[in-house]
Amino acid sequence: MKLQIIQVGEEVLRGQARDLSREEILSAAIQELIEEMRKTMRTAPGVGLAAPQVGMPLQLAVIEDRKEYHAKLAAERLAERQRKPIPFHVLINPRIVALADETVEFFEGCLSVTGYAAVVPRARAVTVEFLDERAERRRVDGAGWYARILQHEIDHLNGVLYVDRMRNRTFTTVENLERVWKELPTAEVLNRLKARR
């Protein structure tokens, strides 16, 4: 099965995805979907992909933040974002059970809003409970960039896109992000754009 990432405006991106049963998770169809989502995410490339992004309203997402994706970012930007490689894993029927009170703001993009990015406030840390691809219960504490990825992908499963949470005045093309804003601390970006709350 060849998957296509759908773009904002498609109804499935705005709906509530349905939970998967243990039997469904272990089925050949869902196991194949997981593998195809992994390939699609890597080809994009992206650090996460939710089933609604490939047209399937299922509580299923895949995540992987590969070390080679970090090469374009300066060491201080990686440190500021608390960004480290995250091995491939699968989230099924995930629930955020704890959110840190502290929020952090960074530019964020989305494979379903191709070509754009904006500053999005997110909790610095989260705790998520979910089932893995073997239908086994898991719990993960995510901090920094990993917490952001978890929140972004779980939002997709609930019909929410980053544009619903973004600082509107920071919305930009990816080209301009790379050219103008990428190397600046977020506080300076917000100040220049007068995008404070």
What's the CA gap between 27 and 110, in Å, rounded?
29
Contact 145, 82 (CB under 8 A): yes
Residue 174's alpha-carbon distances to 53, 95, 125, 179, 182, in angstroms, are 19, 30, 26, 9, 9
The span from the first CA to the last CA of the chain, in angstroms, equals: 44
Given 64, 105, 108, 153, which residue is catalytic?
Answer: 153
Residue 22's alpha-carbon distances to 3, 18, 87, 101, in angstroms, are 23, 13, 23, 33
Beta bridge partners of 61: 50, 91
Say how many CA atoms lie within 13 Å of 180 toward its Cβ. 15
Is 153 considered catalytic here? yes
Contact 169, 177 (CB under 8 A): no
Residue type, 59: Q
Q: Which residues are catalytic?
A: 153
